[in-house]
Amino acid sequence: MRRCFDLARLGAGQVSPNPMVGAVLVHNGRIIGEGWHQKYGEAHAEVNCLRSVAPENRAFIPHSTLYCSLEPCFHHGKTPPCVDLILQHKIPALVVANTDPNPLVSGKGLEKLKAAGVNVKSAVLEEEGLWLNRFFFSWITRKKPYVILKWAQSLDGFLGKTGERTPVSEAASIRLVHKWRSETDAILVGTNTAVIDNPRLDTRFYFGKKPLRVVFDTHGKIPSNYHLLDDSVETWVYGPKRLGIFIKTQFFPQENQSVAIPSMLDNLAKNNHATLMVEGGARVLQQFLDGNEWDEIRLLQNNRRLGSGIPAPSLPANAIPVTSFGIGNDRVEIFRRSTTC
Ligand code: AOF
Ligand code: ZN
């Protein structure tokens, strides 16, 4: 199953809002097929796994066990049901990590396979699977994007100097942030960050997709020659419409930032954006924390002091540490929101 998860992760950033799914076919302790869901709208993991079986191994398929990180689909979506494929290939045994919360599937896939005599084992490494696909599970069950708050702070707890762009993180961490962006559907910054930093919010230090940029500009303060108003990638501006021709930029006139947050989250989910990464600044991060509108915090802790500046937000009491690791001179700490308080 861990191999399924590793394969699934290869689809990161390419399949959203679909889940990342991996499948492995095993005959007598030997892997004879592997596959993953590679791109939204294209073949599912099970299809790619069966396609990968070499001609000399095809006769083993009806005597093999299929491991799949997600319950095989039951519905006719953009591709035919994987359940039917498993039955056509007469695969006698199936092991899955998670049932598919998609109402079109939700247990029906496993039921159909069991009824046809397939030996089904479910909930194997279920927690790991839930964490792997936390964006998808959030989007499909809560109709909300999974919200990640990301900030970098100095050793003495500052986000940056007041009123000036202040590099806090190391080059390696910046690359990591670009990787995170490429795995995220949308990135948000507030007006102050947009005005002070003139960020691009792109993925120039990593490969992969360019996420939707979202910015609060409630009083129209962002200079019109700034990157976020360059119409180079899909951008949502919560603020007054600007003069000029915009093709990839949409404006949502909105004067109150705290009112804008819920409607923005709703709008993201409706447009198939399953994740949002909030990259600052202090005010926007605090609004998400105060509204308990967050699921995960990614904190980049640098080892140098700034002496003064904008204080970083305090970690909320319901933040549970998940993992931490070093990168250059930074330490990355990941927290998730406790669901019990
Ligand atoms: C699987 N294997 O690899 C994936 C599944 O529009 P479609 O046809 O691509 O269907 C998307 C839905 O199928 C998605 O919301 C989820 O319920 C399931 N994803 N199922 O059997 C896969 N990616
Ligand atoms: Zn499928």
- Cα(270) to centroid of ligand 2, in Å? 22
For domain 143-337, the CATH architecture is 3-Layer(aba) Sandwich (3.40)
Domain with CATH 3.40.140.10 in the chain: 2-138
Q: Does residue 130 have a pLDDT over 60? A: yes
For domain 2-138, the CATH architecture is 3-Layer(aba) Sandwich (3.40)
Nearest CA to ligand 1 atom 18: 73
Q: What is the pLDDT of residues 249-278, one digit of tens each?
A: 999 997 777 778 999 999 999 999 999 999
Q: Does residue 4 have a pLDDT over 90? A: yes
Q: What is the pLDDT of residues 65-94, one digit of tens each?
A: 999 999 999 989 888 999 999 999 999 999
Count CB-CB contacts under 10 A for residue 113.
24
Give the pLDDT band of residue 168 (cuts 50, 70, 90): confident
Q: Which residues are catalytic?
A: 46
- Cα(265) to centroid of ligand 1, in Å? 23
pLDDT of residue 257: 73
Q: What residue ranges line ligand 1, CB within 6 angstroms?
A: 18-19, 21, 37, 44-46, 70, 72-73, 77-79, 82, 100, 102, 105
Q: Does residue 127 have a pLDDT over 80? A: yes
pLDDT of residue 170: 82
Give the pLDDT band of residue 123 (cuts 50, 70, 90): very high
User: How many residues comprise the chain?
Assistant: 341
Contacts of 174 (CB under 8 A, 6+ apart): 205
For residues 265 and 138, is the Cβ–Cβ distance under 8 A?
A: no
Domain with CATH 3.40.430.10 in the chain: 143-337
The closest ligand to the CA of 36 turns out to be 1
Q: Does residue 340 have a pLDDT over 70? A: no
Nearest CA to ligand 1 atom 20: 73
Pocket test for ligand 1, best of 15, 38, 44 (most atoms within 8 A of CB): 44
Q: Does residue 5 have a pLDDT over 70? A: yes
